[in-house]
């Protein structure tokens, strides 16, 4: 197979950018073409998540070819939700590896800041399973539920978990402060972190990557340069939380990593630093475990102990990550590669010398993930000793249930959403419930108190949405329901211990 190298890199200043998406992409492209000292390429690959809804314009690939004065050459847009930039890299990699093209321009970008936060949240939430969206689930809400499960499974106290998340946020802001292209270039303090509002418990504002405009670009070539794209892999995972058995790991990352390590003939031990998808701080921790850098449950401690700082044993997100560099969704997967190449070439703020880097990008809620490995000549060979855990069984699929049915189960994980989508009032309790038959379902809480993993609940369905009540509150709900049903104040609660719509 033809080997693939990076000939040039480019990136815009991330943040609010008043220009059109095509203009932003065009700037990144010009920088990369200049860096590679070339003017002509054989093809164009563009990663973008949802330019149609973010900007109202479609046909992005042709549009960008036009703006760049490259009309005529093949131009293709690639999309895998928030990992679109990495997906474009993969398509371009294969196009060169196949011998079809010799030199291609890979671009990725998104324009988001001109919309309201609620409009942006709605567009971003379209990657979530429709059933879960109907309950009011947003990306931060689902990330929060994964975080709570991580805490419970690995027996972390609330306070220990918070310290770990805070450590990731502070580190990434510290790194971003040294990156002139980062959206946030200021150090934040523990006080800033703990003073920031909850988006969805236990995640605060400073646990979430911002809304950003920006683009990244790369010239890939078959001719040797100082940075080789040594390995690349992709894996997918279930869309819905309720179709998963694993909540504290993203199997899609493990699949992608295995492939990338194999192709690059290396292992986690051979990686000098990594750029990973920290759209939410807990994702950096989970991903550092999925990539084999730390054993399960140890990623948070590693962050807390400074192992992932720029001066640590395995720097993670030396560029500031999505958290501080910013997260123009379709761009991030490629921006990571640009940042990693910059650091390998000695052009970044961190002044250590590195030989081999890994980048990891996440699409949706860990549904479409990529891992790439970049190498300088002379990177030491490392035997591949890593065997990721085999993918686990999936839970039984949800059955269709009659509307009147009442389901008994336990809380598998939960969150209280403070920044809700349009049409949902905060605070909104959401939980993943494991029914007695082993199936999982997403439900809205009838109130937001007494939530705890393992607690027993009753679930009923109303207008297609599941509603849950913690068992101890059953009496109150029964009474309210009975009153409603009879159209009169109930004096005696019904004898039947089940609640629900008996139509």
Distance, in Å, from the CA atom of 497 to the CA atom of 475, rounded to the nearest integer, reads 9
- Which residues ranging from 18 to 47 are in contact with a second copy (CB under 8 A)? 43
What do you get for the CA distance between the two ends of the chain, in Å?
64
Whether 43 and 261 have beta carbons less than 8 Å apart is answered as no
Closer to a second copy at the Cβ: 98 or 189? Answer: 98
Q: What value does the CA radius of gyration of the chain take, rounded to a whole number of Å?
A: 24
Distance, in Å, from the CA atom of 22 to the CA atom of 231, rounded to the nearest integer, reads 29
The answer to the question of residue 63 lying near a second copy (CB under 8 A) is: yes
Whether 303 and 286 have beta carbons less than 8 Å apart is answered as no
Stretch that binds a second copy, among 10-18, 125-133, 160-168, 472-480 (CB under 8 A): 125-133
**Residue the block writes with tokens 């493990």:** 254
The answer to the question of residue 120 lying near a second copy (CB under 8 A) is: no
CB of 259 to a second copy, least distance (A): 9
CB of 424 to a second copy, least distance (A): 17
Closer to a second copy at the Cβ: 77 or 173? Answer: 77
Cα–chain-centroid distance for residue 478? 40
Peptide bond into 202 cis (omega under 30): yes
The answer to the question of residue 210 lying near a second copy (CB under 8 A) is: no
CB of 421 to a second copy, least distance (A): 13
Closer to a second copy at the Cβ: 77 or 461? Answer: 77
The answer to the question of residue 490 lying near a second copy (CB under 8 A) is: no
Distance, in Å, from the CA atom of 328 to the CA atom of 212, rounded to the nearest integer, reads 5
**Residue the block writes with tokens 């068992």:** 471
Residue from 6, 24, 29, 77 that binds a second copy (CB under 8 A)? 77
What DSSP character marks residue 465? E
CB of 173 to a second copy, least distance (A): 29
The answer to the question of residue 239 lying near a second copy (CB under 8 A) is: yes
Stretch that binds a second copy, among 94-102, 141-149, 295-303, 312-320 (CB under 8 A): 94-102
H-helix or E-strand spanning residue 324: helix 321-325
The answer to the question of residue 62 lying near a second copy (CB under 8 A) is: yes
The answer to the question of residue 74 lying near a second copy (CB under 8 A) is: yes
Distance, in Å, from the CA atom of 106 to the CA atom of 78, rounded to the nearest integer, reads 10
Peptide bond into 170 cis (omega under 30): no
Closer to a second copy at the Cβ: 62 or 269? Answer: 62
CB of 457 to a second copy, least distance (A): 26
The answer to the question of residue 58 lying near a second copy (CB under 8 A) is: yes
- Which residues ranging from 378 to 397 are in contact with a second copy (CB under 8 A)? 391, 394
CB of 144 to a second copy, least distance (A): 19
Cα dihedral 428, 410, 494, 398, rounded to 10, equals 90
CB of 270 to a second copy, least distance (A): 22
CB of 116 to a second copy, least distance (A): 18
Closer to a second copy at the Cβ: 90 or 166? Answer: 90
CB of 493 to a second copy, least distance (A): 41
Stretch that binds a second copy, among 53-61, 174-182, 291-299, 426-434 (CB under 8 A): 53-61
Stretch that binds a second copy, among 62-70, 184-192, 380-388, 492-500 (CB under 8 A): 62-70
Beta strands 5-11 and 227-236, pairing class: antiparallel
Residue from 18, 99, 224, 346 that binds a second copy (CB under 8 A)? 99
Cα–chain-centroid distance for residue 2? 31
The answer to the question of residue 479 lying near a second copy (CB under 8 A) is: no
Report which of 30, 35, 115, 41 is spatially closest to residue 74, judged by C-alpha positions. 41
Distance, in Å, from the CA atom of 117 to the CA atom of 113, rounded to the nearest integer, reads 8
The answer to the question of residue 65 lying near a second copy (CB under 8 A) is: yes
Residue from 243, 265, 408, 479 that binds a second copy (CB under 8 A)? 243
Whether 464 and 489 have beta carbons less than 8 Å apart is answered as no
Closer to a second copy at the Cβ: 36 or 78? Answer: 78
- Which residues ranging from 351 to 380 are in contact with a second copy (CB under 8 A)? 363-364, 367-368
Distance, in Å, from the CA atom of 417 to the CA atom of 143, rounded to the nearest integer, reads 11
What DSSP character marks residue 280? B
Residue from 30, 126, 305, 496 that binds a second copy (CB under 8 A)? 126
Closer to a second copy at the Cβ: 53 or 192? Answer: 53
Cα–chain-centroid distance for residue 491? 51
Long-range Cβ contact pairs of 51-57 (< 8 A, separation 24 or more): 51/21, 51/110, 51/111, 51/330, 53/123, 53/126, 54/21, 54/110, 54/111, 54/112, 54/115, 54/120, 54/123, 55/20, 55/21, 55/111, 57/21, 57/22
Closer to a second copy at the Cβ: 90 or 348? Answer: 90
By three-state DSSP, how is residue 69 classified?
Answer: coil
Q: Which positions lie near a second copy, rule CB under 8 A?
A: 1-2, 43, 49-50, 52-53, 56-63, 65-66, 70-81, 87, 90-91, 94-95, 97-100, 123, 126-128, 130, 233-240, 243, 251-252, 255, 363-364, 367-368, 391, 394
């Amino acid at each position: 197979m033809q080997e693939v190298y990076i000939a040039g890199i480019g990136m815009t200043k991330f943040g609010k950018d008043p220009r059109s998406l095509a203009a932003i992409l065009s700037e990144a492209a010009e920088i990369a073409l200049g860096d590679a000292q070339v003017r002509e390429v054989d093809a164009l690959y563009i990663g973008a998540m949802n330019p149609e809804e973010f900007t109202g314009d479609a046909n992005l690939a042709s549009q960008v070819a036009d703006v760049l004065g490259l009309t005529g050459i093949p131009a293709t847009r690639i999309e895998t939700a928030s990992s679109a930039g990495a997906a474009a890299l993969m398509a371009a990699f294969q196009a060169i590896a196949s011998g079809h093209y010799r030199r291609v321009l890979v671009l990725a970008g998104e324009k988001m800041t001109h919309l309201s936060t609620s409009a942006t949240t709605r567009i971003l939430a379209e990657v979530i399973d429709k059933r879960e969206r109907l309950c009011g689930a947003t990306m931060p809400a689902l990330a929060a539920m994964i975080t709570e499960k991580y805490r419970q499974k690995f027996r972390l106290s609330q306070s220990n978990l918070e310290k770990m998340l805070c450590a990731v946020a502070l580190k990434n802001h510290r790194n971003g402060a040294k990156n002139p292209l980062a959206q946030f270039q200021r150090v934040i303090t523990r006080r800033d972190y703990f003073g920031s509002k909850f988006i969805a418990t236990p995640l605060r504002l400073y646990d979430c990557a911002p809304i950003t405009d920006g683009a990244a670009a790369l010239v890939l070539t078959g001719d040797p340069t100082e940075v080789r794209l040594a390995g690349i892999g992709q894996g997918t995972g279930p869309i819905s939380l309720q179709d998963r058995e694993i909540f504290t790991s993203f199997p899609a990352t493990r699949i992608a990593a295995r492939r990338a390590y194999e192709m690059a003939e290396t292992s986690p031990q051979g990686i000098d630093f990594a750029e990973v998808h920290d759209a939410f701080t807990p994702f950096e921790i989970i991903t550092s475990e999925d990539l084999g850098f730390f054993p399960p449950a140890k990623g948070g401690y590693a962050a807390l102990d400074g192992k992932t700082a720029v001066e640590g044993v395995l720097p993670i997100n030396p560029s500031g990550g999505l958290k501080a560099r910013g997260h123009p969704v379709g761009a991030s997967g490629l921006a990571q590669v640009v940042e990693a190449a910059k650091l390998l070439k000695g052009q970044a703020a961190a002044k250590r010398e590195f030989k081999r880097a890994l980048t990891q990008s996440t699409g949706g809620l860990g549904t479409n993930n990529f891992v790439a490995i970049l190498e300088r000549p002379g990177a030491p060979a490392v035997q591949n000793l890593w065997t990721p855990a085999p993918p686990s069984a999936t839970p039984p699929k949800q059955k269709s249930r009659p509307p009147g049915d009442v389901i008994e189960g336990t809380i598998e994980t939960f969150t209280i959403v403070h920044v809700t989508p349009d049409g949902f009032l905060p605070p909104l309790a959401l939980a993943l419930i494991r029914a007695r038959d082993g199936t999982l379902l997403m439900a809205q809480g009838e109130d937001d108190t007494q939530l705890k993993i393992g607690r027993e609940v009753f679930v009923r369905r109303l207008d297609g949405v599941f509603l849950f009540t913690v068992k101890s509150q059953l009496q109150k709900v029964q009474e309210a329901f009975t009153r409603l049903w009879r159209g009169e104040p109930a004096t005696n609660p019904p004898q039947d211990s089940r609640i629900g719509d008996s139509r």
